[in-house]
Amino acid sequence: MNLRNKALSATLLLLGLAGCITFSAYKTPKGAEKTIDQRVDSLLAKMTLQEKIGQMTLYTTDWGATGPTIREGYTNDIRSGACGALFNSHTVEFTRELQRVAVEETRLKIPLIFGYDVIHGYKTIFPIPLGEAAAWDLAAAEQSAHIAAVEAAASGLHWTFAPMVDICRDPRWGRVMEGAGEDTYLGCRLAEARVRGFQGKGLGNTDAVMACVKHYAAYGAPMGGRDYNTVEMSDRYFREFYLPPYAAAIKAGAATVMTSFNDFDGVPATGNKYLLNDILRDELGFKGFVVTDYTSINEMTSHGVVANEKEAGELALNAGVDMDMQGAVYQRFTAESLKEGKVSQKEIDTAVRRILRIKFELGLFEDPYKFCNAAREKRELLSKPHREAARDIARKSVVLLKNEREALPLSKDAKLAVIGPLADNTSDLIGPWSAAGSGDDCVSLLAGLKAQHKGKINYVKGCDVEGDDRSGFTAAFSAAQAADVVVVVVGERATMSGEATSKVDIGLPGVQSLLIEKLAATGKPVIVVLMNGRPLVIPEVDKNATAILEAWWLGTETGNALADVLYGSYNPSGKLPMSFPRSVGQIPVFYNEKSTGRPFDPNSKWTSKYIDSPNTPLYPFGYGLSFTTFQYGAPTVHKTRFRKREIVKVQVAVTNTGKVAGEEVVQLYVRDLVGSVTRPVKELKGFQKVMLQAGETRTLVFELGEEDLRFYRFDSTFGSEPGEFDVMVGGSSDEVQHIRISLD
C-alpha cells in the first residue's frame, strides 16, 4: 500500500475510532472483548461524583402525575448529568429526543433508561392484575405481560414498575386491584409468570422490558387498610405470608426492586437495612438495583426517623437504596454527606455499578436508540393479535358468582333490557394504572352485546355510579318489565381503586343496589355484571340478583369478552383470588386463617365468632361457578406415609356432569395438623386448570413433597416437621374433600 493510501487509511481509522469514542465511549473495540463489569469499571473511573449521583437519580417528566410532585426542567437535568433515568416518559418520539440530549449533549454520553407503570398493558389494556389472577392461568398472565412489554418496548420504554406482588387481605385498600389477592402460593406463581412475561428472553431484547418487583415490602398490609399506613407484623408472619412473592419474582430474574412507602417493624422500608440488605441481598441474592417509590426517601422525615432530607438520604443509601425516585435527595445532599463521611464512596460506586451494569445489559451503549423504532411502534400498539389476546384473557378473568333459574347463558334472540351506569361506559374499563391505554379504544358492554345480539336491546342508564338520584328508576323499571331478561351493569368508578383510594365503605356506591332491588321486583331474571377494582360488600345484590358476574376492570376488549361469556360462547372459569366479605366488620377475612383455641362451633357459645354475622365470607377464596357442573371423586394417594426425599402422588377424578364443556380450577390445599407453631387451617399448595367435555372424567395427579410442607418453625428455621397432614382437593377453598398423609 503506497504512502498516500496508508495516510488515508490511518486517517479513516482515527476518524473511525474517534467516531466510536464520540458515539459511544464504551463500545468494545473489536478483539478487545471486555466483560460488562470491566466496561462498567472503565466508565466509573471516568465519572465525577456529580455524574455518579446523577445516575442514582430518577425523575418524572410532566407527562403524568403518579405522585405529589412534578419537576420542571428535566431536559436540563439530563443535559447537566443530574439524572440518569426518567419515568412517565414514553413514545418513540419523546424518548428519542430525551435520549439524544443524554448521548449527544453530555460529557460522558451515558444513555438514559425510561420507566413507566405498565401494570396491565401499555396501549392494549388487559384485566387489572387482581382480575387476571381470577383466571388462575399462568400462561395467560405471562402472555399479557409479554404483550405489554412488546408494546412498551416499541414505544421507547426499557423498564416497567411491575409486577406489584403485595399480598393483601384487606379490600379497603384500593391497591388490591394491582396485585394477585390474598394467597401467597397463587401470588408467587403469578409473580414469576409476570416477570417472565416482561423480561422475556432477557434484557436488551426489544420485545422485553426490565421488571421492577414492588412494593418491597409488605405494603399490602397497612393498618386499617389505609394506604401508606403502618405495617406491623412478626418476622415469622412476614416470611410466611408476605415475603415469598417478592422472593419468587427475584428468583424469576427480576432486574429491579422498588421500596415501599410503609414502615416495617418501625423502620421505613426505604431506609430498612434488614429488608434491603440482610434479606434482599444476603438471603435472596438479588443482584439488580433498588429504586425507591415516589419521594419515599424524603418521606422518612414524616415517618420521624430522620430530622431532615439529608439524613434521609444517608439512611437510604446506607440501607441499600441505589436510585432515588423523584426526591432529588441524592442529587442535593449526597456529595455533602460523602464529605462528612456519613456515606462512603464505596456505597456510591456500588449503587452506580448496579445501574450502569443494567444499562450495558440493555445494549444502550451500543445503540441508545434501539428501543426507538417508529415503524415497530406503529405495528405493535393495539395490533389485532394483541386485542384478540386481551379479549381471551378478559373472558378467562370473569368469575360467575351466582346463576339461578339458568338465567345464563343468554339467548341472542331474547328481548334484552341493558341497564346501569357502566353498561355504555368505556372510560373506566381500563381501570387504574392503565399506562397509555385509552377508553376511546375500549368496547363497552352495550357495544359488545349489540355486536352479537339478534333480538331487541333496550338500554336505560337508570342511575349514576354515585349520588342518590333515582329519577332514572322509572324508565329502567319499564324497560325491565318489557324485556325477557335484564342485564344490570354496576360497580365502582375506576378512580375508586388504585393508589390512595382506601375506603371504609366497600358496598356498591350510590343507589345502584336499590336499582337492582327495584328491577328484581319485576320478577324478570336480573343478571348483575359487577365492574370494580376490589372485593365489594354486596349481600343485597346476592339476595336480589338472579345471576352475578364479577367482571373487575377487563380492559380494552371488555364488551366483546363479556358478551362471549353472557352468551355462553365462552363458559366462565374464573375463581376468586380474594375473599368477598359479608361486611366491612369482618375484615380481614381470608381462607387460610388459624384454627384458634376455640374454633367456631355452632353448638357452643364459647367459640370464636360474631354474634351478628357468620365467620365465613359471602364468597370465599377459590370460588367460582360454571355453566356446567363438576363432580369430584374422593382423593387418593399412592402412599399415606412418606419420608423427606419422597413424594406423595395425590389423585382425584373430576367429572363434568353438565351439558356443556367447561374449565375447572382444581385446587389442592394442605393443613399441617400439629406444628411447633400454629398453622393455617388450609394452605393452597397447587392447582390445575383443566378443560372437560360434557360427561368427561379426568384423573388429575398432584405431587406433594416435604418441601411443600416447610414453614418457619418455632426456632425460626425454615423446614418441615414430621407428623400428620390433611390434604384437601376441590373447586373452592370451602368445598374440598380430605385425605390424611404423614411425614416421617
> Footprint of ligand GLC on this chain (CB under 6 A)?
66-67, 87, 117, 161, 214, 293-294, 499
Min CB(90)–ligand GLC separation in Å:
12
Single out the residue of 579, 525, 522 nearest to residue 550, CA to CA: 579
Q: Collect all residues with Cβ–Cβ distance below 8 Å to 302 and sequence separation of at least 6.
A: none
Q: Tell me if residue 594 falls in helix, strand or coil.
A: strand
The three-class DSSP label of residue 95 is helix
CB of residue 221 to ligand GLC, shortest distance in Å: 15
The kind and range of the H/E element at 292 are none
Which residue lies nearer to ligand GLC by CB, 172 or 689? 172
Question: In this structure, which amino acid lies at residue 129?
Answer: P
Burial class (CB in 10 A: 0-12, 13-18, 19+), 584: middle
Q: Toward ligand GLC, which CB reaches closer, 87 or 552?
A: 87
By C-beta, is 226 or 713 nearer to ligand GLC?
A: 226
Whose CB is nearest to ligand GLC? 66
CB of 439 to ligand GLC, least distance (A): 20
**Least CB distance to ligand GLC at residue 165 (A):** 12
Nearer of residues 291 and 566 to ligand GLC, judged by Cβ: 291
Which ranges of 371-496 does DSSP label H, i.e. alpha helix?
374-380, 384-397, 445-452, 473-481
- Do the Cβ atoms of 147 and 124 come closer than 8 Å? yes
- Supply the minimum distance, in Å, between the C-beta of residue 62 and ligand GLC: 13
301, HSE (Cβ side, Cα atoms, 13 Å): 11
- CA-based nearest residue to 495, from 430, 420, 581: 430
Q: How far is the CB of 352 from ligand GLC (least distance, A)?
A: 22
Spell out a b/e string for 608-621, using b for 16 or more CB atoms within 10 Å of the CB, else e.
Answer: ebeeeeeeebbbbb
Nearest to 563 by CA among 733, 398, 389, 740: 398
CB 537 within 8 A of CB 583: yes
Cell numbers representing residue 251 in the block: 428468583
- CA-CA distance, 269 to 261, in Å (whole number)? 7
Task: Please give the Cα distance from 320 to 40 (Å, whole number).
Answer: 19
Give yes or no: 293 in active site. Answer: yes
Nearer to ligand GLC, 240 or 499 (CB): 499
Q: Which residue of the set 117, 293, 428, 672 is catalytic? A: 293
CB of 202 to ligand GLC, least distance (A): 23
Residue 498 or 731 with smaller CB distance to ligand GLC: 498
User: Cβ closer to ligand GLC: 240 or 293?
Assistant: 293
Neighbours of 585 (CB within 10 A): 11
Q: State phi, psi for 663 to the nearest 5 degrees.
A: -100, 140
Q: Which residues are catalytic?
A: 293
